[in-house]
Amino acid sequence: MADGRKVKVHPVVLFSIIDSYERRKEDAKRVIGSLLGTVDANSVTITNSFCVPHTESEDEVAFDMEFARNMFDLHRRVNPREVIVGWYATGQDITEHSVLIHEYYSRESKSPVHLVVDTDLKDTEIGFKGFLSATVGVPGKTQGMMFTPVPVVVDYYNAERVGIDRIRNRTQSRGNLISLPTEFENVLDMTKTLQTMLEGVSDHVNNVLAGSAPIDQKIGRYLMDLVCTVPHMEEDEFDDMLNSNINDLLMMRYLGNVVKSQVALNEKLINTSTIQTT
């Protein structure tokens, strides 16, 4: 960006745009909408969006500004921190009507971001590009607007990353339902990931010792910090601690299942007594 700030977009925004495109009118070639988020000295973070009705032809475009203002007021009641940071449009590039729409958002935001989202989903990936506007022309004369590209990166909350990873693992199995993993599956997946990372670190250290890989002092300091953070514990002590934690976890799950069974049984008894009284 011209001021050095980065543009970050959350996955829920991209999914919302794709959903709006899939629900569009039959005669609509694209959809547009507002982008909401936060702005600080270092970055512009896009965390929410909503679609705005519009009609478009080769000669003109009509944009429902009243709807956009009302929707923003409703969103602001839910999350007062979010402000208008730009607007989006589906397609592959900027059109001649984009200048007119961008002028409206320039009144709502100091430096609005224009996000173009490619809905073709090539290679099962969502393509998107970001643009900022700059005024061009001779001062005092008729001036125009030029869109300049700006890098946009995808940013995740921890909860979003869990969902994205789950969806990415099921992209090849179309038509199947995606269910969230259980606690045991999460532990198993994390254990496998940790084992893979440890194997990679071990291979690198062995290659350095064998002379087949260059010595990197920065990596060595990272590994030393990692080793120092691990508490010194004998194997028997570690086994006792692990078994104790597993037993506590199993006990909590058992008590949780007992409580659920008691609640379900109580509801059935209440319903049965109500029917008999009636």
Written as tens digits, the pLDDT of the chain (278 aa) is 445 568 999 988 988 998 898 888 887 888 999 999 998 878 899 999 999 998 887 778 888 889 999 999 999 998 889 999 999 999 877 887 888 888 888 888 888 999 999 887 766 677 888 888 877 766 666 566 788 888 888 888 777 776 676 666 655 555 556 666 677 777 788 888 889 988 998 999 899 899 888 888 888 898 888 888 877 778 888 888 888 888 888 888 889 889 988 888 888 888 776 666 65
Are 114 and 156 in a shared domain? yes
Q: What per-residue confidence (pLDDT) applies to 178?
A: 62
Give backbone dihedrals phi and psi of 18, rounded to 5 degrees, phi first: -60, -40
What range does the domain containing 72 cover?
6-160
Q: Are residues 222 and 274 in the same domain?
A: no
145 and 11 in a single domain? The answer is yes
Check whether residue 225 and residue 277 sit in a common domain. Answer: no
- Same domain, yes or no: 276 and 240: yes
Specify the residue for token string 């990679």: 200
Q: Is 172 a member of any domain?
A: no
Residue 240, domain member (yes or no): yes
Domain count, the chain: 3
- Token pair 């006792």 is found at 240
Query: Both 197 and 153 in a single domain?
Result: no
Question: What count of Cα atoms within 13 Å lies in the side-chain half-sphere of residue 152?
Answer: 22
> Is there a single domain that holds both residue 36 and residue 76?
yes
Q: What is the CATH number of the domain that holds 35?
A: 3.40.140.10
Domain membership flag for residue 140: yes
Going by C-beta distance under 8 Å and a sequence separation of 6 or more, which residues neighbour residue 10? 45, 46, 47, 154, 155, 156, 157, 160
Do residue 156 and residue 239 come from a single domain?
no
pTM as predicted: 0.63
**Confidence at residue 63, expressed as pLDDT on a 0 to 100 scale:** 82
Residue 124 phi/psi, 5-degree rounding, is 55, 25
- Is residue 179, in this structure, part of any structural domain at all? no
The reply to whether 203 falls in a domain is: yes
Q: Indicate whether 107 and 206 sit together in one domain.
A: no
The reply to whether 45 and 146 lie within a common domain is yes
